[in-house]
Amino acid sequence: MPHEIGTASGHYDLLAKIKAFVTSTVEMGAGNEWSIERDDTTGDDHELILNGPGLTGLEEIFVGIKTYQSVDDDYFNFKVMGATGYSLGDSFEAQPGSSGMKGVPLWDATIPYWIIANAQRIIVVANVETIYQTFYIGKMVPYASPNQYPYPLAIVSMLTSAPATRYSDTSYNFGFKNGDTGAFVIRDNAGTWLSPKTWPWKNAWIGAAYYTATASEEENLRDTGGVYPVLPIVIWETTPNHYGEFDGVYYVSGFSLAVEDTMTIGGDTYLVVRNAARTGFQDYIAIKLD
Amino acid sequence: MPYDIGATTGYADLKSRIHTFLQDNGWTLSGTVIYKGNVFAQLTDNTAYLQLVGGQGESGGALTDTCPAISRIRTDAWGTDVTFPCTYHFFVHTSPDVFMCVINHNTLNVQWMTFGEVNKYGAWNGGQYFGASYNSGSLHNVWQFSNWRCRFYNTQAGQNTNCGIGYFWASTDTSSGGYGNMQMVCDLDGSAGDWIDNHGTLSTRNFNGSYLANNLVPYSPNTFNSQAVLVPIHLYHNRPSDFSSVIGEPGHTRYVNIKHYNAADIITLGAEKWMVFPHHKKSANSLTDPAVYPSGSETGYLGFAVRYDGP
């Protein structure tokens, strides 16, 4: 899938580079590029609302990115969202069927970044002074037919809302981990934005701490003879429901892995990304680049 | 056609039918050993059971590097005994090579037998496996079926347990010399040709497919579309120093919640078809609550699916 690795000069520039990449026919391939519904850089808060064609080329997938910042408090962040449509007359925050705002802590200095995008979702990884910020906006892969689940929109970010949080705050996690923290939401068929769990976090044999497991159950995965199997991240809840899994994002053990490592599995290249500055065994994901 | 269904009159007949079916699909019978590629198995019939043992080679019609454990389909089963004639289903697949036999007896009861090779993750030697509904042990220790956290099939506080019953499911036979119901060749942390099995507690020679199915199979089928997800069977293998590895997955099979299905029902997903079975006997229990478990022979809504190429 298309990806770009580069360096932005700050959060405004990162937003500009995301826009340039995902709307480029050259980069994305004809028919896979996102179209722009709103691109407002006139004020302090830059706004970008995009419409994706989906893998069928016949869909409309609405996502948005907006900057918010404070020099006084030294934060220069994104807020990201998903919506069910676009309304010219409404604010970024009041778009129809909005997921609500989910924050991504950034800064106004050099940001090495990775943009991984296809026609149905956009993933961005930003290295902010070795604190890795990741967000995913767009469709996940549903365990259902299009008729059963026509708009499986997922928003994964770092913050549960869009507060005045500096990147150096140590309390936040990427939304992939455990799922039900509020930094990750999906839209169900009733139009409700849910915050379900994610597997294999929540599995008693990997993420055992969540279940207050016995000591013997508190195990972690490691490599398998020097190879790191990646596991799909399954979105589920005890209702029961298994909604689906993320497109191109996988669980990988942090055992002897380092952020920005790349792995080749079955001819595909995967980028290893960690949860902010954390280095625990359960704080890593692998994102498919190709 | 890599699927066959029929009625069998007994274990000798079942063994003969398996041999014929496999030979018709590219396997070789040499003496008592049926084999293909790296997979070597020996079937022995008896009036009371059909016994399976795996090896790592064949010489003069006999297994070599034979596993010390055996697995069986047996008449004296937990719950309802097998009576003949009963229905059998045979499946054989390639890439990887897999054979699966399921007998459906007395309407609701299932026993299964399988041998093959897993799709391996990572660099290690082995991957050949075999197993069946029962191991070599007697039945007297089998007790109520519990599935809390997909840990074991036959465990409840204070009870010794024996058999595994489940397909690649964790077993908890901790008795001296006891074996699970599934065995596989794996030299990770061991020596070339070592066999590991699905019994015991968290020893480093243990493997199973159930631990990583925790959260996935019991909490199904979906409320929003009533469908049960076919869950890949990720084989979990305990390693030294409290770590574990995902070492592979058995081909052409999945775990599935069978709340909406009965034995031998077919799930069609696009061009794929899968035939589903309970691990032993379906009962109305999702097995998400450790305090609520079915009677001894029942395996709740938990089941497995086999890729099906039949009509």
B119 pLDDT more than 90: yes
What is the mean pLDDT of the segment spanning B68-94?
A: 92
Phi, psi of A60 (to 5 degrees): -135, 110
Say yes or no for a CB contact (<8 Å) between A219 and B221.
no
Interface predicted TM-score of the whole assembly (ipTM), two decimals: 0.92
- Report the C-alpha gap between B220 and A143 in whole angstroms: 12
Cis status of the peptide bond prior to B96, with omega within 30 of 0: yes
- Report the C-alpha gap between B132 and B53 in whole angstroms: 10
Say yes or no for a CB contact (<8 Å) between A227 and B121.
yes
Residue A68 and residue A108 in contact, taking contact as beta carbons nearer than 8 Å: no
- Please report the pLDDT score of residue A205 as a whole number: 76
CA distance B297 to chain A (A): 25
Residue A133 and residue A104 in contact, taking contact as beta carbons nearer than 8 Å: yes
A234 pLDDT more than 90: yes
Selection from A98, A27, A37, A39 nearest residue A66 by Cα: A39
pLDDT, tens digit (0-9, with 9 covering 90-100), for A4-14: 999 999 999 99
Alpha-carbon separation of residue B37 from A39, A227, B56, B96, B185 (angstroms): 60, 24, 10, 10, 14
Interface membership of A221 toward B (CB under 8 Å): yes
Element holding B11 (H helix, E strand):
helix B11-23
- Please report the pLDDT score of residue B289 as a whole number: 67
Cis status of the peptide bond prior to B85, with omega within 30 of 0: yes
- Please report the pLDDT score of residue B138 as a whole number: 54
B176 pLDDT more than 50: no
B153 pLDDT more than 50: no
Kindly report which listed range (A266-280, B82-96, B187-201, B232-246) carries the lowest average pLDDT score.
B187-201
What is the mean pLDDT of the segment spanning B134-155?
A: 50
Among A216, A229, A241, beta carbon nearest to B246:
A229
**Whole-prediction pTM:** 0.93
- Please report the pLDDT score of residue B137 as a whole number: 63
- Report the C-alpha gap between A78 and A68 in whole angstroms: 6
Mutate to test the interface with B, among A189, A203, A212, A217 (most CBs of B within 10 A): A203
DSSP lists the bridge partners of residue B268 as: B273
Instruction: Work out the mean pLDDT of chain B and round it to a whole number.
Output: 86
Selection from B165, B160, B164, B169 nearest residue B141 by Cα: B160
Greater model confidence, B234 or B178 = B234
Measured between beta carbons, the chain B residues lying within 8 angstroms of A218 are 242
Under the phi-then-psi rule, with left for phi > 0, alpha for psi from -120 to 50, and beta for the rest, what region is A225? left
Greater model confidence, A24 or B170 = A24
- Please report the pLDDT score of residue A245 as a whole number: 98
Say yes or no for a CB contact (<8 Å) between B188 and A225.
yes
Measured between beta carbons, the chain B residues lying within 8 angstroms of A255 are 243
What is the mean pLDDT of the segment spanning B107-121?
A: 96
- Please report the pLDDT score of residue B240 as a whole number: 77
Under the phi-then-psi rule, with left for phi > 0, alpha for psi from -120 to 50, and beta for the rest, what region is B278? beta
Mutate to test the interface with A, among B215, B220, B256 (most CBs of A within 10 A): B215
pLDDT, tens digit (0-9, with 9 covering 90-100), for A184-202: 999 999 999 999 999 998 7
B108 burial (CB, 10 Å; 0-12 / 13-18 / 19+) is middle
Predicted confidence band of residue B291 (pLDDT cuts 50, 70, 90): low
Mutate to test the interface with A, among B125, B172, B224 (most CBs of A within 10 A): B224
Predicted confidence band of residue B180 (pLDDT cuts 50, 70, 90): confident
Selection from B188, B118, B279 nearest residue A227 by Cα: B188
Mutate to test the interface with B, among A218, A242, A250, A253 (most CBs of B within 10 A): A242
Percent of chain B topping pLDDT 70: 84
- Please report the pLDDT score of residue A223 as a whole number: 93
Residues with Cβ < 8 Å from A150, sequence gap 6 or more?
Answer: A189
What is the mean pLDDT of the segment spanning A136-142?
A: 98
Structure tokens at B254: 């999945």
- Domain ranges (residues) in chain B: 3-308
- Please report the pLDDT score of residue B160 as a whole number: 39
Residue B90 and residue B8 in contact, taking contact as beta carbons nearer than 8 Å: no
Greater model confidence, B39 or B166 = B39
Say yes or no for a CB contact (<8 Å) between A240 and B239.
no
Say yes or no for a CB contact (<8 Å) between A143 and B229.
yes
Say yes or no for a CB contact (<8 Å) between A236 and B242.
no
Among B121, B202, B238, beta carbon nearest to A229:
B121
Structure tokens at A31: 């028919």
* Chain A residue with minimum CA distance to B249: A229
Predicted confidence band of residue B122 (pLDDT cuts 50, 70, 90): confident
* Chain B residue with minimum CA distance to A235: B216
Among A144, A217, A236, beta carbon nearest to B215:
A236
- Report the C-alpha gap between A93 and A77 in whole angstroms: 15
Greater model confidence, A215 or B116 = B116
DSSP-assigned letters across all residues of A139-169: E-EESS-TTTSS--EEEE-SSSS--S--TT-
| 3-state SS class at B141 | coil
Say yes or no for a CB contact (<8 Å) between A239 and B223.
yes
pLDDT, tens digit (0-9, with 9 covering 90-100), for B43-58: 999 999 999 999 999 9
Q: Angle CA(B303)–CA(A180)–CA(A96) in degrees, nearest 5?
A: 110
